[in-house]
Amino acid sequence: MFYREAGQYKTNYAADMAVFPLRQDRIGIAVILAIALVGIPLIGNDFFIASVMIPFLVFSLAAIGLNILTGYTGLISLGTAAFMGVGAYSCYKLTTFFPGVNIIVLILLSGLFSAAIGVLFGLPSLRIKGFYLAVATLAAQFFLQWAFVRVPWLFNYNASGAIEVPQRTLFGLPITGASATPETRYFVCLGLVVVLTWFASNIVHGKLGRSWMAVRDMDIAAELMGIKLLNAKLTAFAVSSYFAGVAGAMMIFLWYGGGEANDVFTIRLSFTILFMVIIGGLGSLIGSFFGAAFLSILPTALKFGLPALGVPIGGATAEHVTFMLVGALIILFLILEPHGLARLWQIGKQKLRTWPFPY
């Protein structure tokens, strides 16, 4: 009785086509944003913010990027981590060439270079799809990962081959570098994720998003209806790679604070983000957050939560248990609920619309 649309009248087309047509949904989003903006910084300690919340936001953005390509357009990609690496190295080079430009602007601009590389490796999607396209993106993963090591210009010829994150400030507060606090980095990540999620929501609910979904359902029928497959597929690769590139720059500059990016953007990370999309739900933005929350919080919860409850478990054991649980859940979701946690959330909301009545 608390979640229903009775009495909420629509007087124009914009209200009828709103992303959140129910007042309760809008209130829920406002409450979530208030908790993220005020509650978590007040309640959470530095370890929780740096080890749980920042990784969750970074992985959420990367999962949204892959979901645009795989969930909304139906194009399989196994090179998400490589495109994230392009964004990280691009941001590093931009900080070298333009030291006076705000780091947030450079993080957003780094996604453009990743989008260009994504379009380049997305050209085979015009002729191949399915397993063969997955192999093509896998080749992009291995090639770019090789370039991250063999092209010293990318890491400014550092002997260690690592990205050295410089200190940059915003309104006098350091947001990158060793002196940046976890709370400051968390607020920057939260702002970027909220803005880019809003941007992605407007895209997938607009003309471009509908063309992607038409290509996903049946590309031949979409072409017969006048949708240009060249534009639809390449824009999907470009937007997906842009989100991945920004997520990669955030991972190095706002989460890790530097390090050898080649050891970070591996094929394992590509599969991890793919698992987030599968478990969270294909073709759903909120599913990207569900999947990212599950796979980013689960290892930390097993490693530190169980010992806090009196259950002794080592770090290696927790990692093995995580692999077992993720594998089992992927099989279960593919068999029982292919649309993932997002579909379960949708079913729960539909039940609340009629509760306490059976129909």
Q: State the distance between the two ends of the chain, measured CA to CA, in whole angstroms.
A: 13
Write down the pLDDT at residue 311.
74
Instruction: Kindly state the average pLDDT of the residues 278-292.
Output: 92
Write down the pLDDT at residue 151.
87
Q: What whole-number distance in Å separates Cα of residue 69 and Cα of residue 108?
A: 19
Confidence of residue 19 (pLDDT cuts 50, 70, 90): confident
Find where tokens 């702002």 sit. 191
Write down the pLDDT at residue 351.
80
Write down the pLDDT at residue 85.
93
Neighbours of 215 (CB within 10 A): 25
Q: What is the pTM of this model?
A: 0.92
Q: What mean pLDDT value characterizes the chain?
A: 88
23-37 per-position pLDDT tens digit = 788 888 899 999 999
149-158 per-position pLDDT tens digit = 888 888 888 8
Confidence of residue 1 (pLDDT cuts 50, 70, 90): low
Q: Which residue has the higher pLDDT, 18 or 234?
A: 234
Write down the pLDDT at residue 238.
95
Write down the pLDDT at residue 173.
86
Q: What whole-number distance in Å separates Cα of residue 340 and Cα of residue 333?
A: 6
Confidence of residue 2 (pLDDT cuts 50, 70, 90): low
What length does the chain have? 359
Write down the pLDDT at residue 186.
94
**Torsion of Cα atoms, 179 then 181 then 187 then 190, to 10°:** 90
Find where tokens 């009196």 sit. 310
Instruction: Kindly state the average pLDDT of the residues 268-285.
Output: 92
Q: What's phi and psi for 354, nearest 5 deg?
A: -105, -10
Q: What whole-number distance in Å separates Cα of residue 340 and Cα of residue 276?
A: 10
Instruction: Kindly state the average pLDDT of the residues 310-317.
Output: 76
pLDDT exceeds 80 at position 93: yes
Kindly tell me the burial class for residue 305, based on how many C-beta atoms sit within 10 Å of its own C-beta (0-12, 13-18, 19 or more).
middle
pLDDT exceeds 90 at position 109: yes
Q: Which has the closest alpha carbon to 155: 89, 56, 100? A: 89
Token pair for residue 258?
């530097």
Confidence of residue 271 (pLDDT cuts 50, 70, 90): very high
